[in-house]
Amino acid sequence: MPSPATAHAVAGLPAREPVVELARMGITAFTTTRAHGDFSLAEPSHVAANSPRWNELQRSLEPGPAGLVSAVQVHGDEIATHEDAWTGWRRIEGVDAHIVLAPRGAAAVTVADCIPVFVAHATGAVALVHAGWRGTAAGLLPKVIAAMDCPAAELAIHLGPGICGRCYEVGPDVYERLTGWQTIRNRHVDLRALLAEQAKQAGVVDVSASVWCTKCDRDRFYSHRGGDAGRQIAVIVAGTSDSAPFP
Ligand SMILES: [Zn+2]
């Protein structure tokens, strides 16, 4: 019996969905697709099966990056800042956002409906945010924008592949926490629209969004609400002022 991943995979699907909006700034950023395989590390069996894929991806970015960092994600509002270069793939505890200042250092977040938010500055400083409803309600993105320590108007933000407003239905409590509006029934919310609004409120002008919905486009991406246990990753590589994107 085919696994859900192979059952839904599209022939000829590219392994990576690049963020072309940031490539213009010399920043390499992408989200993997089903063609790249499952990156979930949620269970010990996933760690054994999928860690080689993480190491392989880290090596595929060389000789560019200083290293690749990811974290056990907790839907919280903690940020890890990586200033010094490292090597290999490093996994840390309990954060949902990374700021990478080390030139050519890379960060990854694991997603399957939650929104990966890519943040870049012309100096090469970057950030990557895992934003589900909890992170969005907690204002994690504005917190990251403030922690970047540069004018928000100079940042470029891209909201990557994630669940769309038509697919994402939440209960009254979550809806109120996200919007401040009370309701007595389930409602649909567009997390990317909320995150874009947060970015604009924080002073960011350059905000773009992926056309892909992980649930509508489940043939390309893993979707938690679509019933997948698999996960894709979003990756961003810090640049330097003279760096160019690489394939
Ligand atoms: Zn959708």
pLDDT tens sequence across 103-130 = 999 999 999 999 999 999 999 999 999 9
Quote the pTM value.
Answer: 0.93
Q: In the numeric block, which tokens belong to residue 19?
A: 């963020």
Question: Is the residue at 104 inside a domain?
Answer: yes
Q: What is the pLDDT of residue 11?
A: 78
Question: Is the residue at 242 inside a domain?
Answer: no
Torsion over CA: 66, 78, 158, 200 (sign): negative
Q: What percent of the chain has pLDDT over 70?
A: 93
Whole-angstrom distance, CA of residue 67 vs CA of residue 239: 13
**Whether pLDDT at 7 is above 80:** no
Q: Using an 8 Å Cβ cutoff, are 201 and 87 in contact? A: no
1 vs 243 pLDDT, higher one: 243
CA of residue 88 to ligand 1 center, whole Å? 35
Q: What is the pLDDT of residue 244?
A: 47
For residue 146, give the CATH number of its domain: 3.60.140.10
Pairing of β 67-71 and β 89-92: parallel
CA of residue 223 to ligand 1 center, whole Å? 10
Q: What would the pLDDT profile of 79-108 be if each residue is shown by its tens digit?
A: 999 999 999 999 999 999 999 999 999 999
Question: Is the residue at 50 inside a domain?
Answer: yes
pLDDT band for position 30 (cuts 50, 70, 90): very high
What total of structural domains would you count in the chain? 1
pLDDT band for position 246 (cuts 50, 70, 90): very low
Whole-angstrom distance, CA of residue 108 vs CA of residue 70: 5
CA of residue 192 to ligand 1 center, whole Å? 12
CA of residue 162 to ligand 1 center, whole Å? 8
CA of residue 100 to ligand 1 center, whole Å? 30
CA of residue 165 to ligand 1 center, whole Å? 7
Tell me the backbone φ, ψ of residue 40, rounded to 5 degrees. -60, 140
Question: Is the residue at 246 inside a domain?
Answer: no
Average of pLDDT values for 62-75? 88
**Whether pLDDT at 49 is above 90:** yes
CA of residue 166 to ligand 1 center, whole Å? 6
Q: What is the pLDDT of residue 2?
A: 43
pLDDT band for position 1 (cuts 50, 70, 90): very low
DSSP symbol at 10:
P
Q: What is the pLDDT of residue 139?
A: 98
Average of pLDDT values for 7-32? 88
CA of residue 212 to ligand 1 center, whole Å? 8
Which residues share a beta bridge with 90?
Answer: 69
Question: Is the residue at 133 inside a domain?
Answer: yes
**Whether pLDDT at 245 is above 70:** no
CA of residue 240 to ligand 1 center, whole Å? 36
Q: In the numeric block, which tokens belong to residue 61?
A: 């970015």
CA of residue 121 to ligand 1 center, whole Å? 30
CA of residue 215 to ligand 1 center, whole Å? 5
CA 158 to chain centre: 9
Q: Which domain holds residue 215?
A: 4-237
Question: Is the residue at 247 inside a domain?
Answer: no
CA of residue 135 to ligand 1 center, whole Å? 20
